Chain A
Amino acid sequence: MGQLGYRKLDGMADTTTTHARSKRSAPGGDTAKQVREPKSWRPFLLLIPAFVVVSFFFLAPLIDVFYRSISDPTLGVQNYVWLFTTPTNMVVAFRTFATSLLVTIVCLLIAYPYAYLMTVVSDRTRNMLQLFIMLPLWTSILVRTLAWLVLLQDTGPINGILEAVFGIGPLPLIRSTFGVALGMSQVLLPFMVLPIYSALAKIDKRLLPAAANLGARPVTAFFTVYLPLSRPGIFAGSVTVFILGLGFYIIPALLGSSKEIMMSALMYQQISGFLLWGHGTALGIFMLATTIVVLALLGRASKGTNLFAGRGK
């Protein structure tokens, strides 16, 4: 007991002396460097939880999916041959991309004016507008989609009003691309509004008066100054909405036509319906690869518009 106490004291005294000595022997910037260097890798320890989660729940399943696509039922590329030689697959893939693109455009057209409005109103109103955008995000996607189903069906209130007031018969609001685009746009809108808003909020409010003073009509000022400066937000929002849109399952399943299915439904069909794991996983890998290619192309196209980074050209 006593010995332990003695040792502890001894150790403490020892550290102090070494510390003092090192301070004496290494003056100036050297000490600072020595102290800072071991710290440089430590912040990366914070990545460990994320790394573990991503490895177990994303990377491992992804490898499994890829392996199944080239091994089920036998090792080989037969699943990819099926994928590219079956016309339906290509039609569904095209439809998926087209729908996602349509939703992106719809979201952009709604979100841009909305985000602009958020930058010009009072703080109080802006909080309200933000709340209106966030509220749907906190509601179950299933509940919202079922609500749309009720509203849009042939005997629903919207068609009822159309018939009673305008005398136009039930319009195909669901089981159609319109229904899918409407439902998806509503769900994905926040992902477009928020990045655009954050880009617009950064734009100096004096730039538009400055442009006017220099002789630019309001429309010219918008296209030469405001729009170019909001491009990072438009880009970030569009990419997010487009990619999220590609993977939607519930909305196309409930609001879309069973004859015009999208990729996620096709995969579900192959795996759950026909138990063809090879086909389903090959479709998944195909979507992943295509998305990465699209992203890479967009990234290259947007490089010239890399704003605020100094020499962009």
Chain B
Amino acid sequence: MRPENTTSAVDQNEQELRQLHLNTEVISVINDAGISLRDVTKRYGNKAVVDNINLVIEPGEFMTFLGPSGSGKTTTLNMIAGFVSATEGLLHIYGKPVAKLPAHKRDIGMVFQNYALFPHKTVAENIAYPLDRRKIAKAEQKIMIAGALEMVRMGEFGDRFPTELSGGQQQRVALARALVYKPRVLLMDEPLGALDKKLREWLQKEIKRIHREVGSTFVYVTHDQEEALSLSDRIAVFNNGRIEQVGSPADLYEKPETLFVGRFLGESTVLSGAMVSSANGETVLDISGHAIRVPGRLDSDSLAILIRPENITLCDEGTAPATLDSNTLPVTVLDANYLGSSWRCEVELPDGSTGTVRAAQASGVREPGSRAWMRWNVECGVLLEDTGDEGASLT
């Protein structure tokens, strides 16, 4: 359907890349990637909204850009779509340089947060719009439209106008319209942001199923970490115009590389302190007068340990001697909430900050106001540089 790059065009493309003094390995990475961003920067005046981003998205991958608002994730998506031009850097889609290509020539699908359906056209006419632009015969269009509507389970709604549909239905139409011309790349800008929780979870499953069916490269922007964790093959965490870390959901949750990533994904307890000693792949930190062990070593003045709440248990005072492979810290229980499947406790740490503990049973919970010991296995702690990103978890 799409004119493939001719051999000479590829050669020319490679020549251009060689002129930039890139080595062969980098060139082959760019050519094999679904989407490749290399040293991409977007500046408005002096302010870099996107600051020197490098990212390779594999063909067929489900990649999510996660980050607080203003972190540059939407700007990056808009650069891929062609609505915003990069100030610097190389942008390739399936090996083709697109930095200078206008949006209407990029052949990318996009789903917007507010659906962006044409209100004066019916559902079928909306889906026919990209087909009309591609001069596809009406008879063929009919089959393609029916197929696209079937895929999003909206078969009977072709004659309706967008205003006659619910938000979830409109977003499914938008999805059908973005996929009907079988683009190799589908971009989604917080597509479920305006929907309620139930509908959002159901549509997440639908999007996952559609991704498996069409096999295109999906790039999904969201600030909702739960959504990112459940949908993605890989997640790129954005902060202040930079990518903090790229990895699978499990990688990011279990092995965050920065305090920001650890705090932004899921709940966490963070202990800050100075290094006491470091030997045999283990570091000891002074946390409010307690020696706390953590695997790994880092050369930095200010260090922090991040622990996930499900790895912490609460014990009564006096019954919790530190064993060989665990740490303990005295805490005061601030609050205990029953969440249905588990209990969640907020505790005050020795330095006055707040930590979170999750317990599967009521026996793991203590009355608010009572004193207790918090215990976790040494290998559950993650040693990170303390960048002081307080409040990042609030967004």
- Pair from one complex: yes
Q: Which residues of A pack against B, CB within 8 Å?
A: 204, 206-207, 209-218, 220-221, 224-225, 228-229, 307-308, 310-312
Known A206-B114, A308-B163: A211·B129 in contact at CB below 8 Å: yes
> Which one of B81, B110, B120, B161 has the highest number of Cβ atoms from chain A below 10 Å of its Cβ?
B120
* Beta-carbon nearest neighbor of B83 in chain A: A209
Q: A-B contact count, CB below 8 Å?
A: 74
Chain A to chain B contacts (Cβ below 8 Å), 20 pairs: A209-B116, A210-B116, A210-B118, A211-B129, A212-B83, A212-B103, A212-B104, A213-B106, A213-B108, A214-B178, A215-B107, A215-B133, A215-B181, A216-B104, A216-B133, A218-B104, A221-B104, A310-B161, A311-B161, A312-B120
The CA-CA distance from A90 to B322 in the complex, in Å, is 107
Tell me if B130 and A214 are in contact (CB < 8 A). Answer: yes
Chain A residues within 8 Å of B108, by CB: 213
Beyond A211-B118, A308-B120, 5 additional contacts (C-beta under 8 Å) are A204-B116, A204-B119, A213-B104, A214-B104, A311-B164
Tell me if A215 and B120 are in contact (CB < 8 A). Answer: no
Tell me if A214 and B114 are in contact (CB < 8 A). Answer: no
Tell me if B104 and A215 are in contact (CB < 8 A). Answer: yes
The CA-CA distance from A307 to B102 in the complex, in Å, is 30
Any A CB within 8 A of the CB of B92:
no
> Which one of B103, B106, B130, B163 has the highest number of Cβ atoms from chain A below 10 Å of its Cβ?
B103
Any A CB within 8 A of the CB of B343:
no
Chain B residues within 8 Å of A311, by CB: 161, 164
The CA-CA distance from A94 to B391 in the complex, in Å, is 73
Any A CB within 8 A of the CB of B177:
yes
Number of interface residues of B (CB under 8 A): 28
Known A206-B114, A229-B119, A307-B120: A214·B177 in contact at CB below 8 Å: yes
Any A CB within 8 A of the CB of B112:
yes
Any A CB within 8 A of the CB of B109:
yes
> Which one of A215, A216, A218 has the highest number of Cβ atoms from chain B below 10 Å of its Cβ?
A215
Tell me if A213 and B81 are in contact (CB < 8 A). Answer: yes
Tell me if A212 and B102 are in contact (CB < 8 A). Answer: yes
The CA-CA distance from A210 to B113 in the complex, in Å, is 11
Which positions 107-145 of chain B face chain A at CB distance < 8 Å? 107-110, 112, 114, 116, 118-120, 129-130, 133-134
The CA-CA distance from A134 to B279 in the complex, in Å, is 78
Chain B residues within 8 Å of A216, by CB: 104, 129, 133
Chain A residues within 8 Å of B103, by CB: 209, 212-213
Known A213-B103, A215-B134: A228·B177 in contact at CB below 8 Å: no
Chain A residues within 8 Å of B118, by CB: 207, 210-211, 225, 229
Interchain nearest-CB distance for A63 vs B (Å): 42
Chain B residues within 8 Å of A312, by CB: 120, 161
Tell me if B116 and A228 are in contact (CB < 8 A). Answer: no
* Beta-carbon nearest neighbor of B134 in chain A: A215
